[in-house]
Amino acid sequence: MFSEVNTMGHIDVLCNEIGTRNKGSKGEQEISRCLLRLEVVHHRNHDPQDNSLSNLELFSINQAHKLYEARGTPTPIWRA
């Protein structure tokens, strides 16, 4: 597993051979798998480098994430 901070300030973790990105190994371990390509991790405190479990929420697609940011719904598919 390899991690680095990208140009947007997010911590990217290479999770498997096809290059799926993940928000830190703690989140990956919590959901017991790598993130799917369309899944989006939301940082509750809007700090992209704070990957503590209590700060992360998972959305199935970016559209759901944007709706949540605007209206508070739909609910994430995972949160600690």
What is the count of structural domains for the chain?
Answer: 1
Q: What is the pLDDT of residue 13?
A: 63
Which residues span the domain enclosing 10?
2-79
Task: Give residue-wise pLDDT tens across range 9-39.
Answer: 776 666 655 555 544 456 667 787 777 878 8
- pTM exceeding the 0.85 threshold for the entire prediction: no
Q: What is the pLDDT of residue 77?
A: 93
Percent of the chain that is helix, strand, coil (3-state, to 5): 25, 25, 50
Q: Which two structure tokens, joined as six digits, stand for 38?
A: 């369309």
Q: Contact at 8 Å (CB) between 27 and 54?
A: no
Helix (H, G, I), strand (E, B) or coil at 49: coil
> Nearest CA to 40 among 6, 32, 48?
48
Task: Give residue-wise pLDDT tens across range 32-41.
Answer: 777 787 888 8
Q: Where is pLDDT greater, at 13 or 47? A: 47
